[in-house]
Amino acid sequence: LCMVIMGPPGAGKGTQAPAIQKKFNVAHLATGDMLRAAVAAQTSYGVEAKKLMDAGALVPDEIVVGLIEENLNNNPQCANGFILDGFPRNVAQAEKLDTMLKAMNKPLNNAIELVVDDTLLVDRICGRLVHPASGRSYHKIFNPPKVPMTDDVTGEPLIQRSDDNEDTLKNRLQAFHDQTSPVAKYYKEQGIWYGVDAAQTPEAVWDSINAIFDKTL
Ligand code: AP5
Ligand code: ZN
């Protein structure tokens, strides 16, 4: 399985991707998680990336393309396939990805977009809790951890992302509509785009994703 999962901030990409990863035993490559790891490690580009992420703007293409390329070439899990989460985020990234995948002879099976109205996303984003090391996400109300503020798997503390506030969300949504929506059109033209109603419960979204796999794999 080689696929893209896309959708606006809070659509449920990071919620659904781990289940897909488990089902197909493929890599889950999330550029947002990779960037947050670089920020935490205080790498040279981490400092610059943090400013842009906290402003809700995209980081430069060469950084994220480099992260994806590095993983596609060196992450052993990718031999079995991969789910790209949060990448590509503009048409230039989508074109770069096509070039890389062509060279590897690994075309995308599908690009699944989690479609959900902006109005539902404020509550999802502002109530989100994450386990930084794994990228696992919870929600204070919609998907609470078993013990408050504690990761179910490791018992480690959960945090709120520094870009999860209403002001930054406005800019993230703007970036999505301006720069990422054209990527949906790009994949529609390739005939590999599938939309899922992501306003449903997480379980219903999972069923809809599997219905697409049944049709396309
Ligand atoms: P990134 O980390 O990719 O963030 P994002 O796209 O804004 O998406 P989120 O992680 O916020 O949402 P999600 O869809 O994963 O939602 P989740 O499943 O957690 O990127 C962050 C930043 O990094 C960007 O702004 C940019 O600066 C930079 N960046 C990253 N990639 C880049 C790239 N390729 N190019 C340039 N810059 C890049 O769910 C959200 C919440 O809702 C959770 O609490 C969850 O429990 C809950 N929830 C999930 N599904 C449901 C449901 N069905 N019903 C109710 N609640 C639900
Ligand atoms: Zn995410």
pTM, entire model: 0.97
Span 80-107, average pLDDT: 97
Count of C-beta atoms within a 10 Å radius of residue 121:
20
Looking up tokens 């992501």, which residue turns up? 198
Tell me the per-residue pLDDT of 165-201, one tens digit each, with 9 for 90 and over. 999 999 999 999 999 999 999 999 999 999 999 999 9
Pocket of ligand 1, beta carbon within 6 A: 7, 9-15, 31-32, 35, 52-53, 56-59, 64, 86-87, 89, 93, 124, 127-128, 137-139, 142-143, 172, 198, 201-202, 205
Residue 8 DSSP class: S
CA of 124 to the centre of ligand 1 (A): 10
Overall average pLDDT of the 11-35 stretch: 97
Determine how many CB atoms are found less than 10 A away from the CB of residue 190.
14
Mean pLDDT of the chain: 96
Average pLDDT over residues 12-27: 97
Q: Is 89 a catalytic residue?
A: yes
Residue nearest to atom 53 of ligand 1 (CA): 202
Compute the average pLDDT of residues 87-110: 97
The predicted structure's pLDDT at residue 200: 97
Question: Taking residues 119-137, what's their average pLDDT?
Answer: 95
Bond preceding residue 88 cis, omega within 30 of 0: yes
Which amino acid residue places its CA nearest to atom 1 of ligand 1?
32
Please spell the DSSP secondary structure of 11-27, one letter per residue.
SSHHHHHHHHHHHHT-E
Helix (H) or strand (E) holding 2: strand 2-6
Question: Quick one: which ligand is closest to 204's CA?
Answer: 1
At 75, the pLDDT band (50, 70, 90 cuts) reads very high
Q: How far is the CA of 105 from the centre of ligand 2 (A)?
A: 27
Residue closest via CA to ligand 1's atom 41 equals 124
The pLDDT of residue 192: 97
Q: Please tell me the predicted confidence (pLDDT) of residue 159.
A: 97
User: Which ligand places an atom closest to the C-alpha of 207?
Assistant: 1
- The question of whether 185 is a catalytic residue gets the answer no
Q: Indicate which residue of 23, 128, 136, 185 is catalytic.
A: 128
Of 89, 96, 124, 136, catalytic: 89
For residue 136, indicate whether it is catalytic: no
Active site residue 128: yes
List CB contacts of 35: < 8 A, sequence separation 6 or more: 46, 49, 53, 59, 63, 64, 67
Pairing verdict, β 2-6 and 110-115: parallel
- Pick the closest to residue 53 from 39, 67, 65, 71 (CA basis): 39
Say what the pLDDT of residue 95 is: 98
CA distances from 21 to 156, 176, 206 (A): 22, 24, 13
